[in-house]
Protein backbone atom coordinates (compact mmCIF):
# COMPACT_ATOMS: atom_id res chain seq x y z
CA UNK A 1 0.00 0.00 0.00
CA UNK A 2 1.27 3.44 -0.89
CA UNK A 3 1.29 5.56 2.22
CA UNK A 4 0.64 9.30 2.16
CA UNK A 5 3.65 11.61 2.31
CA UNK A 6 3.75 13.25 5.74
CA UNK A 7 5.17 16.70 6.45
CA UNK A 8 5.47 16.13 10.20
CA UNK A 9 5.71 13.31 12.72
CA UNK A 10 4.21 12.86 16.18
CA UNK A 11 5.40 9.85 18.13
CA UNK A 12 3.74 8.75 21.36
CA UNK A 13 5.18 5.52 22.70
CA UNK A 14 3.91 5.17 26.22
CA UNK A 15 3.79 1.46 27.02
CA UNK A 16 0.63 -0.43 27.95
CA UNK A 17 0.80 0.60 31.62
CA UNK A 18 0.17 4.25 30.71
CA UNK A 19 -2.78 3.76 28.37
CA UNK A 20 -4.89 6.16 30.47
CA UNK A 21 -2.40 8.90 29.72
CA UNK A 22 -2.50 8.16 26.00
CA UNK A 23 -6.27 8.66 26.04
CA UNK A 24 -5.79 12.02 27.75
CA UNK A 25 -2.81 13.29 25.79
CA UNK A 26 -2.96 11.90 22.29
CA UNK A 27 -5.66 13.88 20.51
CA UNK A 28 -4.77 17.22 22.17
CA UNK A 29 -1.17 16.54 21.06
CA UNK A 30 -2.36 15.84 17.50
CA UNK A 31 -4.27 19.11 17.47
CA UNK A 32 -1.23 21.03 18.69
CA UNK A 33 1.00 19.44 16.06
CA UNK A 34 -1.51 20.00 13.24
CA UNK A 35 -1.67 23.70 14.14
CA UNK A 36 1.96 23.93 13.03
CA UNK A 37 1.02 22.66 9.55
CA UNK A 38 -0.73 24.31 6.64
CA UNK A 39 -4.19 23.21 5.53
CA UNK A 40 -3.85 20.08 3.38
CA UNK A 41 -0.54 18.99 4.91
CA UNK A 42 -0.25 15.57 6.51
CA UNK A 43 0.82 14.55 10.01
CA UNK A 44 2.03 11.04 10.68
CA UNK A 45 1.20 9.77 14.18
CA UNK A 46 2.98 6.74 15.62
CA UNK A 47 1.56 5.25 18.80
CA UNK A 48 1.80 1.94 20.64
CA UNK A 49 -1.62 2.03 22.33
CA UNK A 50 -4.30 0.06 20.48
CA UNK A 51 -7.08 2.30 21.83
CA UNK A 52 -5.71 5.03 19.55
CA UNK A 53 -7.38 3.25 16.64
CA UNK A 54 -10.82 4.40 17.81
CA UNK A 55 -9.60 7.62 19.46
CA UNK A 56 -8.02 9.09 16.36
CA UNK A 57 -10.83 8.03 14.03
CA UNK A 58 -13.44 9.63 16.34
CA UNK A 59 -11.34 12.75 16.81
CA UNK A 60 -10.97 13.19 13.06
CA UNK A 61 -14.71 12.83 12.53
CA UNK A 62 -15.37 15.45 15.23
CA UNK A 63 -12.71 17.94 14.24
CA UNK A 64 -13.13 17.65 10.48
CA UNK A 65 -9.53 16.65 9.86
CA UNK A 66 -9.13 13.69 7.53
CA UNK A 67 -7.77 10.31 8.52
CA UNK A 68 -6.09 9.24 5.29
CA UNK A 69 -4.69 5.90 6.40
CA UNK A 70 -4.01 3.68 9.39
CA UNK A 71 -1.34 1.01 9.38
CA UNK A 72 -1.09 -1.70 12.04
CA UNK A 73 2.55 -2.72 12.36
CA UNK A 74 1.99 -5.24 15.12
CA UNK A 75 4.60 -4.95 17.87
CA UNK A 76 5.87 -1.77 16.25
CA UNK A 77 2.52 -0.10 16.97
CA UNK A 78 0.11 1.85 14.82
CA UNK A 79 0.72 4.56 12.26
CA UNK A 80 -1.89 7.14 11.31
CA UNK A 81 -1.83 9.75 8.57
CA UNK A 82 -4.00 12.78 9.31
CA UNK A 83 -4.53 15.59 6.82
CA UNK A 84 -5.16 19.02 8.31
CA UNK A 85 -8.51 20.53 7.25
Binding flag, residue 64, another protein (CB under 8 A)? yes
Q: Are 62 and 49 spatial neighbours (Cβ–Cβ below 8 Å)? A: no
Residue 16 in contact with another protein, rule: CB under 8 A: no
Report the C-alpha gap between 55 and 19 in whole angstroms: 12
> Among candidates 85, 45, 41, which has minimal Cα distance to 61?
85
CB of 2 to another protein, least distance (A): 28
Verify binding: residue 57, another protein, rule CB under 8 A: no
- 80 lies in the site for another protein, by CB under 8 A: no
Q: What CA–CA distance (Å, rounded) separates 67 from 18?
A: 24
Determine, following the binding rule CB under 8 A, whether residue 18 of this chain makes contact with another protein: yes
Binding site for another protein (CB under 8 A): 18, 20-21, 23-25, 27-28, 30-31, 58-59, 62-64
Amino acid sequence: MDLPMAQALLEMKTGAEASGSTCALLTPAIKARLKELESGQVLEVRVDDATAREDIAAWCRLSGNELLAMVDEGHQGLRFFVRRK
